[in-house]
Amino acid sequence: MEIKVLGSGCAKCKTTYEMIEKIVKENQLDATLSKVEDIVELLNYGIMTTPAIVVDGEVKLKGHVPTESEIKKILGI
């Protein structure tokens, strides 16, 4: 599974990344997690509000910091 957190590097984006990282480790998921801060790549995904979460190339969430339960649902846990 490939997970990307899209955002400008703001506090909300960092919080989202850290929450996903924690959940991936706790559940020992086979996942690659990365941050994408390049504005061109964000626009390629059609993202206008951040943070956003992309899983395997599909935008799953955008515009707010998710709860742990939202992240687990997105990741299929």
The catalytic position among 10, 39, 43, 77 is 10
Chain segment 40-75, per-residue pLDDT in tens: 999 999 988 999 999 999 999 999 999 999 999 999
Domain at 24, CATH number: 3.40.30.10
DSSP-derived letter for residue 39 is H
Distance CA 3, CA 75 (A): 9
**pTM (whole model) above 0.85:** yes
Q: Which domain holds residue 7?
A: 1-73
Under 8 Å between Cβ of 42 and 6? yes
Q: What is the pLDDT of residue 60?
A: 97
The catalytic position among 5, 13, 47, 61 is 13
Chain segment 20-44, per-residue pLDDT in tens: 999 999 999 999 999 999 999 999 9
Is 20 annotated in the active site?
no
Is 22 annotated in the active site?
no
Count of domains observed in the chain: 1
Closest CA to 29 of 1, 9, 49, 52: 1
